[in-house]
A and B are shown apart, each in its own frame.
Chain A
Amino acid sequence: AQSVTQPDIHITVSEGASLELRCNYSYGATPYLFWYVQSPGQGLQLLLKYFSGDTLVQGIKGFEAEFKRSQSSFNLRKPSVHWSDAAEYFCAVNTGGFKTIFGAGTRLFVKA
């Protein structure tokens, strides 16, 4: 069965510093890959998605993610973090059916 691993439960970065959130998946083929963000008390908002083609995907709010087949990874990056980026980030995998599997999430703290 497919699975998603986000190794970091929480990460703290300084405002203006770069960010990388890790995501690894387990699946035999290339799945559809997503990153969502969740602010407290709210639902999940899609940041970006990868279906095929260019392995570097651009999303909203200045985020990007890179798909690396050899590492089964889809890490999320941002060059310069803003205080408003503090939230919970979820990596998700879909293998073409209707079930999407979510990771446990990484909570991002931003310090001034």
Chain B
Amino acid sequence: GAGVSQSPRYKVAKRGQDVALRCDPISGHVSLFWYQQALGQGPEFLTYFQNEAQLDKSGLPSDRFFAERPEGSVSTLKIQRTQQEDSAVYLCASSLGSGGEPQHFGDGTRLSIL
């Protein structure tokens, strides 16, 4: 596609439910990133994929967070047993490489936990 696509755009879940957020990166982009953006803050790094390999997951807040990119393209961020503090915008970005390559961002998924 022309850009990074994320779905759903909005997700409301009750505390304790599991959610899955999808990211469809730009075709051919090797690198894929997930960020969490709290209200009024900048994006905070969650995890990074190079093709299908998850090279860094140090930013994931807890073991309730899990991300995968099994075929090196589409990625899913899953949050199990959601908590209110998980409410945020989750941004996905992709780039041709890593390092100084500019990242292309999706419009994000706004997650609200009731």
Contacts and interface: CB of A to CB of B under 8 A. Distances in A.
Main secondary structure of the interface of A (DSSP, over half): strand
Q: Which of the four size classes fits the interface of chain B?
A: 20 to 34
A44 B56 CA distance: 22
Nearest to A90: B42
A98 B31 contact: yes
Interface stretch (B13-21, B62-70, B76-84, B95-103): B95-103
Interface string B87-106: 00001010000111011111
Contacts of B93: 43-44
Interface string A86-107: 0000101010111111111100
Interface of A: 4, 32, 34, 36, 41-46, 49, 51, 90, 92, 94, 96-105
14 contacts: A32-B100, A34-B102, A41-B107, A42-B107, A42-B108, A44-B93, A44-B105, A45-B105, A96-B99, A97-B98, A98-B48, A98-B50, A98-B98, A99-B45
